[in-house]
Structure formats: structure tokens, C-alpha cells
Amino acid sequence: MRILSFISVIFLLASCYKGEHVDIIVHNAQIHVMDDKMTIHEAIAIKDGEIVQVGPEREILNGYSADNVINAEQKDIFPGFHDAHGHIMSLAKQMQNADLTGVRSYSAMLSQLEKFQKENNRKFIIGRGWDHSLWGVKNLPDNTQLNKLFPNIPIALTRVDGHAMLINQAMIDFVGITDTTFVEGGVIVKQDGKLTGIILDNAIDLINDKIPQPGDKDLKEAILKIQNDLFALGITHVHEAGLKQKEFKLFDALAKSNQLKLNTYAMLFPTDENVAFAEKNGHYKNNSLSVRSFKLLVDGSLGSHGACMLSPYSDSLTHGILLESISDIKQVLNTAKSLNYQVNSHCIGDSANRIMLHAIDTLMKDTPDHRWRIEHAQVVHEDDFKYFGTTGAIPSVQPTHATTDYRWAEDHIGASRLKGAYAYRSLQQENGMILFGTDFPVESYNPFATIHAAVNRKNTDNEPIDGFLVDESVDLTTTLKAMTLWSAFGCFEESNVGTLEKGKKATLTILDHKLEVTKEYLPNYAFMTMINGEIVFSMEY
Ligand SMILES: [Zn+2]
């Protein structure tokens, strides 16, 4: 006993002298703690995946020792960025198929498809990413040219936003769509009584239910590749905005084997299978993966005139589409309430936003700490902004949507409705918080493009020159909070991540270049990214 205490005294003296031993020290840095005071410290000590201390250079270097001491050479360190709304699964699928992102014309799309088919020789050609607003045309395309070039192979090409699809005649025949096919919450577009090959929203399920899907092995590999690409940009947390149970199982398997290091907050579509999962598992946590929310698609997208508007579009007779009946919406909210699950509702049009805000107002007002989220909140009627304050519904938006859609948004909805569109400053002021994501693969997941879009209201080509609806810009501090602490709150993780305070997880990114906001877009990257103290990306390795 006496020998033991003697040894412990010696050990104590030694540890006082050398400082407490930790796993990692990062020093000579600009550590943005992202606390209320927006403190900046110089050094941080990390042990067992947690932040032991963060403080001035000398305090940390004198107080602690570590085998791994990283001199950050004055680089900026932030809590790892969240993408509060992304689609890893959609991107993983896109990577197996023809990528049509950024194609500049219909004919360029056709050439790309020819090239893809020459290399891959598929029985079905599946593609995603086209955006007709880049082709200098206003109307959605039809399948005339597609039919000429590919008369026999069934083809399905999803628009960049995932809410419209162009299919050729061979696919129409394969699936068995006719003039009289009707889909609740979907549109099969006709012109002069003839199918054009464009289908919207729930009608897309007619195709997806019948075409071959990529194999699990390919999808898993793609997810892990995406994860690494996200780490290289400092992203440590993705809110995966809608999974079917089969898709969720892939993430679950990757999390179980510890291959999924990326913190993944999976929102489940409220299918019977997913509701049964939620009833059985409640709040589910498996290493990096957590589940406690449903994703509810209330309407379509603005770009394909599917977003549900109170009055018709300015350039079309349609009001858009409500994808769920109001009684189904209420049922999902009540199910979620009984399971203490969050509901994250995709609402783009002013009607969709109003329906959901009113439903939350009447059904959920008494629910403590519900954290219901409105995803996109893209066009909000001026009378409805107040509900983001009174109901506590958190706006979860994508600043790069504003700087992509600026080319056609006014044509679609007109100048007066534009005042309530992409209104991030107003939304944040009403609620007190706002969450930022990208909706990738609709937009790039590049967080520095998000910062530029939020602060300067310009895209990475610095367009439009004077910014789009600049009155709705937010400052850099608001932007960073929307990508760190507030997004952590939006997925119930604020006690673990979101700031670099003592006791929280050492989940952070060291940026390669100083984070500055200038008039011109400045690319940036992660120099190093850590999750729970584990270095998951480093430029040096
Ligand atoms: Zn989405």
C-alpha cells in the first residue's frame, strides 16, 4: 500500500512537471470556438476523442503533453461543418449512372449519353443532373430527340433537383405508362394530348420501382468515397434528407463496421417500414449514425413548377403539386409526436410552407423542444414568416439554391413573391436560428460556396455581379453558426459537437487557407479534419 502511494506521488509529480498526457495537442492556431462570445484560442488538448482544454498557447503547452503535437501555423480551426440537408444516397446512385450535371444543351446531353453507353453498354440508361435552365430555354424538354437516338433502350434522366424526369418512348412502353395513367401527387406531362416524356414528383416512382437499382456493394463503395470527399472540405456531419429502409440499412451496416466515420443524421421517409423501425427502435444510435426524424415531402421543386403555390406561377397556369394530402401530413406529424421523432418537411412553395406552418401551429404548439424543421422554406408568404418565430419551426435552407435559381426565379414567381423567397436573413431573425446545407447533389456540397452565397449572394462564378436579393444576405458569424452550432441543435447534437468547448467531441477542421469573405469567391479546403479526435483527413498523409 505504502509503495503504491509512493509510486502515485512520483507519478503525480512527474505529470505535474510534464503536464497531463493527452492524445493530441494542436497549437499555434486560430481556434474559432463558436461560443456565445465568438472566442478565438490558440491551442487545444484532445484525449479519448474529447476536448480536454482549449486556451492560450502557453496554458495548453505547459499544462499538457502529447505524442502527437500539431503546429497549425496560424491556420483557422472550426468545429467540423454540417451539411444540414444533403443526399449521400442520391449522389452514390448518381455515381453509378450517367452524370449530366452542368450539361449546356440538349444535344450536349445526347452526346454525353452516347459516350456513356459506348463505355458501359447498359440495358437501361439511367442518368441525373440535367438542368434545362442552363440550355437557354424556358420550357421543360420533351423526348423527341431522345427517341430518335435511342429507340430501343429504355432511358430515364432525372433533372438536377430530383423532382422531374425525362423518359424516352422505350421506357414509357417498358413501364406501361399510357394516356390515362394517373399518380396521386405526380404529373405525367402531355402536350396536345400526347405524352412528352416528362414526369414529375410521385410519378417518378413508376420508373424507380421498375428499373434495376445499383448493387449494395457499389453503393457502399460510393458512400465511402463521398465521405472522404466531404472530409477534404471540412464536413464532419451530414443530415441525410430522406432514406427508405433498404437504403438506411446500407448506412447502418457501414456504421456498425466503423467504416462510416462521417456523423450521419438520417431522416427516414415515413413509409410503413420506417415507421415500424421507429416504433421498435425509438431514437436510434449506431456509432456515427443516428435516427430520430422523418422526412416529409410536402411539394415539388420550383425549377420544374412542382412547388405548391398559393396562386398560379407567373409563367405557367399551374399551382404546382401537393405531394401529400393534408390528412396524411397531420397523420405523420401525430405519429412523430407520439414517437418523439422530429419532422423535417420539404416545403418550397408558399402554399406548402403555409400548410405545414399552420399544421405545426395547431397540432404541435404544446410539444416541448420539438425542433420541427422546414426544409428549404424557399418561397414564404409575407404573412407567414411570423410562424417561424411563434411555432419554433426551424428553417433549414440552402444558400446556393438562391445563387443558382436567380436566373429564372423571377420568371417563375414574379417580382412581388420574390420578396419572400430565399429570405434567409428574415427567416433567421424570426426564429433566432437557421440551418445551412446544400441539398447535394442538387448543388455542390462545397461549404465555401455556401459561405459565399450566404454572405455575398453570389455563386462561385461571382454571379450575379451585384448579388441576388442582397437584402437577405447574412453575415459570416451567422453563416458559420448555421453550419456548426445551430445545425448541431437541429439534429439534437449540440451537447456533443457544434462548438470547440471543453468536454465536447474533438470534431473539427483545420482549414488550408484563412477563411475570409471577399467580393470574389475564394476556394478553400481542409488541411486536416478530425472526428472524435481521429484524424479522418489530412493533406499531409
Ligand atoms: Zn433534398
Q: Is the pLDDT of residue 6 over 50?
A: no
CA of 402 to the centre of ligand 1 (A): 14
In the reported structure, the alpha carbon of residue 86 is separated from the centroid of ligand 1 by a whole-number distance in angstroms of 6
Distance from the alpha carbon of residue 43 to the mean position of ligand 1, in angstroms: 37
Asked if 220 and 513 count as a contact pair (C-beta separation under 8 A), the reply is no
Residue 241 Cα to ligand 1 midpoint, Å, equals 6
**Which position has the higher pLDDT, 364 or 152?**
152
Whole-number Å distance, alpha carbon 508 to ligand 1 midpoint, is 25
Asked which of 11-25, 168-182, 228-242, 288-302 is least confident by mean pLDDT, the reply is 11-25
Closest residue by Cα to residue 100 from 159, 155, 170, 154: 159
pLDDT band at 368 (very low <50, low <70, confident <90, very high): low
> Does pLDDT of 15 surpass 60?
no
Cell of 435: 440551418
Task: Give the fold, CATH level 3, of 1-74+499-541.
Answer: Urease, subunit C; domain 1 (2.30.40)
User: Distance from the CA of 267 to the center of ligand 1, in angstroms?
Assistant: 11
As assigned by CATH, the class of the 97-208 domain is: alpha beta
Q: How far is it, in rounded angstroms, from Cα 373 to Cα 293?
A: 10
Across the range 257-275, mean pLDDT stands at 98
**Is omega for the bond preceding 56 within 30 degrees of 0, making it cis?**
no
The architecture that CATH gives domain 81-87+215-492 is: Alpha-Beta Barrel (3.20)
Q: How far is the CA of 87 from the centre of ligand 1 (A)?
A: 6
Using the mean position of ligand 1's atoms as its centre, give its distance from the Cα of residue 64 in Å: 44
pLDDT in tens, 66-98: 999 999 999 999 999 999 999 999 999 999 999
Comparing 367 with 340, which gets the higher pLDDT? 340
**Boundaries of every domain in the chain:** 1-74+499-541, 81-87+215-492, 97-208
Q: How far is the CA of 442 from the centre of ligand 1 (A)?
A: 8
355: pLDDT confidence band, cut at 50, 70 and 90? Answer: very high
In this prediction, what percent of the chain has a pLDDT beyond 70?
A: 96
pLDDT band of residue 3 (cuts 50, 70, 90) is very low
Helices (H) and strands (E) in the chain, counts: 19, 25
434-485 confidence digits (pLDDT tens) = 999 999 999 999 999 999 999 999 999 999 999 999 999 999 999 999 999 9
pLDDT of 365 higher than 80: no
528 CA to centre of ligand 1 in angstroms: 28
- For ligand 1, the distance from its centroid to the CA atom of residue 187, given in whole angstroms, is 19
C-alpha 283 – ligand 1 centre gap (Å): 22
3-state secondary structure of 333: helix
CA atoms within 13 A on the CB side of 50: 7
Residue 270 preceded by cis peptide, ω within 30? no
The reported pLDDT for the residue numbered 258 is: 97
For residues 413-418, average pLDDT: 97
pTM of the model: 0.92
Surface-to-core class of residue 231, CB atoms within 10 Å of its CB (0-12 exposed, 13-18 middle, 19+ buried): buried
**pLDDT per residue over 172-224, tens digit each?**
999 999 989 999 989 999 999 899 999 999 999 999 999 999 999 999 999 99
Burial class (CB in 10 A: 0-12, 13-18, 19+), 465: exposed
How far is 382 from 319, CA to CA, in rounded Å?
18
| pLDDT range class, residue 522, cuts 50, 70, 90 | very high
